[in-house]
Structures are given as structure tokens and as C-alpha cells.
Amino acid sequence: MPSTTLPRRRAGATELSLPVLGVGCFTFGGGTYWGPQSQHDVDAVVGRALELGANFFDTAETYNDGTSESALGLALRGRRDAAIVCTKLQPDHAYAADVRRHCEASLARLQTDHVDVFMLHWPLNASALRHYTSDEAKLRHPPTIAEALHAMDALRQEGKVRHLAVSNFGPVQLAEALAVGVPLALNELPYNLLARGIEAAALPACARGSVGVLGYMALAQGLLTGKFATLDDVPTWRARLRHFRGDRPGSRHGGPGLEAETLAAVQGVRALATAHGLAPGDLALAWAASHPHMTCTLAGARNIGQLEANVRAVQTPLAPALYAELNRLTEEVRQMLGPCLDYYQSPADSRCW
């Protein structure tokens, strides 16, 4: 695949310009969720991504206990200036007294003196914090959005961070964050053909607030790639979404799920892709990146072949008729799941509002 330059979009009102496709780095470093990942392949993916213009890399201190950041830092040695790096601060580390220490630890693992985007990984409430800590004092008194953003902004003013962002913030939470008065470049939100909840209110809220949108989970953790013949073939740890029955192992949403409707949508996308000579995952990724309010869509890649396929998928916007048909195929799932952005917990216990 020849070198190319991907289309780029500005992140809200900032000068930050991102490619329409970024590289999700959750697999980097290897771990229990996605399995082993060799540093050789990480190096190859990062190098090729830079050549192809997909130079935005999204990692987090919590991904594989920090080894994702370490692996990305190794891969970027000698070419850091060509990359745009985002890392995330987990919510129980967002107290004013803790932010600097955790940011500097991320910088050390990344082998850099700054990150381009420093992001709050989840909203600051007990429901979000309980996935990171069992400290009852923290659960009773989560960090406030004001103290977190002001502490993060101090790092921005020092040059250790260039832009600030949030992740999984619903429209109410985003309004609260913007009211602090600290500039935000991005809100990272889940978005794919089976998870369209942000269309109702979160996307319009980002547009009104001049905040860019970074989409994640574009392939629904593999559901949209066509690799699973039935929903029972999906690995247990990926079958915890509200699409699946709440009695499946590891599930915490407690709801009935919508497995028949989800499978019908997946099969419809697969048939449409086949009819157009496309891979289902490529079609799904192209759809996610085609939304006009989407600044950048993330997709992981374990090797150069997967990366190049992802790049090809987003290079040309979908034809309007194909885009509309994909919307029609997934409309029932969209309506049944509603606007709640938390696909792992019940709307009553959502971390995002």
C-alpha cells in the first residue's frame, strides 16, 4: 500500500488537527483483555501508521497496567515529533494532589517530555471510580471536575500537556466541565453501528460547545468484523455489553439484552458488505468515520495488514445511499438501547449522563 495522507479535521475550536483515523493502543504491551502483543509488531504498526498519516495514538495509564504507554514510547523513539499522543488519567487519580504525579509517570513510560492530549478517562462519580478503587473515602468523595481540570490545566500551562480532553462525558457532564472555563479539545465517546446513543444528545452537545469528538469501539469489540457466526462465539469478556443478556458471565447491567436484534443487525451489515465486495469491518469503520461531527475514529491494529485495511476503509466517504442503508439496518438496535452512553452498566447506574 503506497504512502498517503489521510484527511484531517480540527478538534473543535482548537488548532489541533487530527487524521480521520487514529490508532487505538489498548493491545500494545499485551495483557489479559486482548492477549499478547509483541513489541516488534507494535514498532511496525506505529512506523507504518506514521507513513500513512494515521499519526494519532490513543493510550492510557490503565491500559495493560501502563505497558501500553511503555510500548508506544519504545515504538516512537527517534520519531516522537511525527506523532500526536493522547493518554488518559483514570478517575481515582484526578484529585488535585495526584494529577501531576500520574501525568509525570505517564510521560516517563512514554519517554517524552509532553503529551499532545491529556484526557480524563471517565466522569468523576462513584459509579465510575468503583472500577478503579475500593477506597470508601474516595467513593464517598470523588474528585470534583473543577479540581481535576484546574490541576490538568496547570500542566498545560507548563507545556507538559498541549491540549486537555474528557472521555465518556454525557451532555450534562460536558456542560459542567465546560463551565469550569478550562479549554477542552475533545470528548472521547463510544460510537459504532451497534452503539449510536451519542447521536441523540452527546454529539449535538459537543458541537454546541465547540468540542471535537474522538470515537472509540468502532468495530464493537469485533462484533462488526464478521468473525463471529453467533453471539455465543463472542469471548466472555467482550459479551458484557447491554446488547447481551445480563445473566452472561461478567455482565453487570442486569438487563434482558437484545441479542436477536443485535444478531440481525450484524448479519444485515455482513450481507450488505458482501454485496458491495467489502469486508464487514471495513464497512463499519467507514460508516463511523463518515459522521460529519466525528473528528477522529480510533481502531486498533495488531499488525501492518490490519492497519492498512483500516486506512483503506476510511479514505473514501461512503456513498449516501450506503450510509443510509447501514443506518436503517441498525435503527432498531439504536432505539432499543436508547441514548445512554454506558454500554456496560444499566441506565439507572450509568457513569455517563
The Cα 303–Cα 299 span in angstroms is 12
Question: Which comes out higher in pLDDT, residue 3 or 181?
Answer: 181
Q: What percent of the chain has pLDDT over 70?
A: 99
pLDDT tens profile 97-145: 999 999 999 999 999 999 999 999 999 999 999 999 999 999 999 999 9
Specify the pLDDT at position 4.
60
Side chain identity at 5, as an amino acid letter? Answer: T
Specify the pLDDT at position 1.
46
Residue 199 lies in a domain: no
Mean pLDDT for 312-337 is 96
Residue 58 lies in a domain: yes
Residue 74 lies in a domain: yes
pLDDT tens profile 268-300: 999 999 999 999 999 999 999 999 999 999 999
From 167, 174, 173, 171, select the one nearest 86 (Cα to Cα).
167
Specify the pLDDT at position 2.
43
For the chain, the domain total comes to: 1
Residue 171 has pLDDT above 80, yes or no: yes
Grid coordinates representing 271 are 450481507
pLDDT tens profile 209-247: 999 999 999 999 999 999 999 999 999 999 999 999 999
Instruction: Supply the pTM of this predicted model.
Output: 0.97
Mean pLDDT for 247-274 is 97
Residue 215 lies in a domain: no
From 216, 224, 269, 270, select the one nearest 243 (Cα to Cα).
224
Q: Find the angle CA(51)-CA(54)-CA(60) to the nearest 5 degrees.
A: 125
Residue 115 lies in a domain: yes
Specify the pLDDT at position 316.
85
Residue 250 lies in a domain: no
Domain extent, residue 124, equals 15-184
From 227, 118, 199, 232, select the one nearest 166 (Cα to Cα).
118
Q: Which CATH number is 93's domain given?
A: 3.20.20.100
Grid coordinates representing 217 are 469501539
Specify the pLDDT at position 247.
97
* Contacting residues for 86 by C-beta, under 8 A, at least 6 apart: 56, 57, 58, 59, 115, 116, 117, 118, 119, 165, 186, 214
The Cα 167–Cα 123 span in angstroms is 7
Residue 136 lies in a domain: yes
Burial group, residue 138, by CB count within 10 angstroms (0-12, 13-18, 19+)? middle
Specify the pLDDT at position 89.
98
Residue 92 has pLDDT above 80, yes or no: yes
Q: Quote the mean pLDDT of the chain.
A: 97
pLDDT tens profile 26-78: 999 999 888 999 999 999 999 999 999 999 999 999 999 999 999 999 999 99
Q: What are phi and psi for residue 130, nearest 5 degrees?
A: -65, -15
Residue 316 lies in a domain: no
Residue 306 has pLDDT above 50, yes or no: yes
